[in-house]
Amino acid sequence: MLELFAPYSVSEVLVFLLKGLGMTLFIATISIILSFLFGSVLGIARYLGKGMGARLAAIYIDSVRNIPLLLFILSFRLLLPSVILGIRIPDKAVFSGIVAMTVFTSAMVAEILRGGLNGIPQGQWEAAASQGFSRYKTLRYIILPQALRKILVPMLGQFVTCLKDTSFLQVVGISELMMNTTIIMGKFKYSYQVIVLYALTALIYYGANIAVLTIAKRIRF
Shortest Cβ 120–another protein spacing (Å): 17
Cβ nearer to another protein, comparing 67 with 127: 67
Give Cα 126 distance to the centre of its chain.
Answer: 35
Shortest Cβ 96–another protein spacing (Å): 13
Please return the burial class of 108, using the count of CB atoms within 10 Å of its CB with bins 0-12, 13-18 and 19+.
buried
Cβ nearer to another protein, comparing 19 with 142: 19
Shortest Cβ 27–another protein spacing (Å): 13
Half-sphere exposure of 111 (CA within 13 A, CB side): 14
Q: Which residues contact 164 (CB under 8 A, 6 or more apart)?
A: 205, 209
Shortest Cβ 133–another protein spacing (Å): 29
CB 88 within 8 A of CB 82: yes
Shortest Cβ 189–another protein spacing (Å): 11
Cβ nearer to another protein, comparing 75 with 131: 75
DSSP reduced 3-state for 90: coil
Cβ nearer to another protein, comparing 64 with 147: 64
Shortest Cβ 198–another protein spacing (Å): 5
Task: By CB under 8 A, name the binding residues for another protein.
Answer: 62-63, 65-71, 74-75, 78-79, 160, 163-168, 170-171, 178, 182, 185, 191, 194-195, 198, 201-202, 205-206, 209-210, 213
Residue 83: strand pairing partners: 88
CA atoms of 148 and 112, how far apart (whole Å) = 10
Q: Which residues contact 215 (CB under 8 A, 6 or more apart)?
A: 156
Cβ nearer to another protein, comparing 129 with 210: 210
CA atoms of 140 and 152, how far apart (whole Å) = 17
Q: Which residues contact 150 (CB under 8 A, 6 or more apart)?
A: 116, 119
Cβ nearer to another protein, comparing 129 with 195: 195
